[in-house]
Chain A
C-alpha cells in the first residue's frame, strides 16, 4: 500500500519560473515531512523538511506548504534554475522512535533555458 502519493511524475519548467511538486499522505501518524533532491548516480540530499505544527517553511528559493486537514504538502521552487534539474522525492515518517522514511515515487524536474 503506497502511503505517500507524489505528482507529477515529470515536470518541465522554464528558467526563472516556479516549480511545484505535490504529495499526499494517508497515515495521520506521520509527523515529519522532508523533501530530498537526487542527481543521477548520487544519493538523495535533504533539501527542506516540515513538521505538521506549521503550514509553511521557507529556505532560500525552496518553500514547503503543508495542509494538515487535506493531508497534502507541496514543494515550491522559486526562480527555478538549470542546476535544479534533478529528481525530487517527498517523504514522511512517524517521528522519534520510528524514523523509517516512506518515500513518494519521485518527480523528474527539468529546467529549460
Chain B
C-alpha cells in the first residue's frame, strides 16, 4: 500500500509570495495533520483535519491555512512568506478508528524562502 504522499518535494519561493503544499493520506485514513520542522528541531503542529473539519490548530499566524477535500487529501497554504517559513513541511495521516493514535508521516516538502 502507498504511504502518505506529498507534493512538491522541494520548493523555492521569494519573500511575500504565496505557496500551496499538497498531501494525500494513506488509503482509508480520514485524518490529516500538518507539521513544520525547522532544521535541527522537532516537528511543530500546525493543523489537523478530520472529515473536512478543522480539529486542531497550533500556534501559527493566520497566514497559514489549510483545508481537506472529500477524498481526504489536504492542502496547506501559506501567504506572505517570510524567511522564517523556510522548513520541512510534513503531513501525517491517521485513521481515528481502531488504533486512533498512530500517525504516519509523509516524506515532506522542503520549502526555501529567499
Contacts and interface: CB of A to CB of B under 8 A. Distances in A.
Given A43-B107, A44-B90, A99 B43 contact: no
Q: What class of interface size applies to chain A in its complex with B?
A: 20 to 34
B103 A46 contact: yes
Interface residues of B, number: 27
A88 to B, nearest CB: 10
Contacts of A32: 101
A6 B33 CA distance: 23
A98 B105 CA distance: 17
A99 B96 contact: yes
Interface stretch (A14-22, A66-74, A77-85, A89-97): A89-97
B94 A106 contact: no
Nearest to B6: A43
A49 B84 CA distance: 32
B90 A98 contact: no
A67 to B, nearest CB: 20
Interface in B31-73: 31, 33, 35, 40-45, 48, 55-56, 58
Contact of B106 (A43, A49, A96): A43
Contacts of B43: 44, 89, 101, 103
Given A43-B90, A43-B108, A44-B90, A99 B42 contact: no
Contact of B101 (A36, A93, A104): A93
B56 A99 contact: yes
- Which of A42, A43, A89, A103 lies at the interface centre, i.e. has the most chain B CB atoms within 10 A of its CB? A43
B43 to A, nearest CB: 5
B100 A96 contact: yes
Interface of B: 4, 31, 33, 35, 40-45, 48, 55-56, 58, 90, 92, 94, 96, 100-108
